[in-house]
Amino acid sequence: MLFVDNDQIGRMMFMSTTNNGARSARRYSTQFKAEAVQMVVTTNKTVAEVARSLGVSAQGLGRWVAQYRTAHPDPNTAPTPIEVGRIRALEEENQTLKMENEFLKKAAAFFARTLP
């Protein structure tokens, strides 16, 4: 297995080879990664134990945990990994809604000018 990391926890993917030598990518959702990191952070289980139970690479899960701990050095004030994933999803949705709102404003202005 070849591991590719784009320096962002939400964009990590794993490359594996199939029987005919072609590569196929296994991508994990941000929610899945957040839940996996939370299992490591909040329980007494090791990274290897959690990785084995989820069927992911211990190296990849360890990288996700390290990225989380780097971004949140104080565990008392840090949001949980699930909260981080939810915040990221809400920020993306907010951005999409802002763009749609701008489009609708422009469309309303256009039609207001063209109607008598």
Check if the beta carbon of residue 56 is closer than 8 Å to that of residue 1.
Answer: no
Tell which wins on pLDDT, 71 or 97.
97
Pair of tokens at residue 33: 């990664």
pTM of this structure: 0.51
Q: Cα(51)–Cα(53) distance, rounded to whole angstroms?
A: 5
Question: From 3.40.50, 1.10.10, 2.40.50, 3.30.70, which CATH number describes the 30-114 domain?
Answer: 1.10.10
- What per-residue confidence (pLDDT) applies to 53? 93
pLDDT of residue 9: 42
Q: Tell me the C-alpha distance between 24 and 80, whole Å.
A: 31
Q: Is residue 107 scored above 60 in pLDDT?
A: yes
In the chain, what are the domain boundaries?
30-114
Cα separation of 42 and 34, whole Å?
12
- Across residues 2-8, what is the average pLDDT? 40
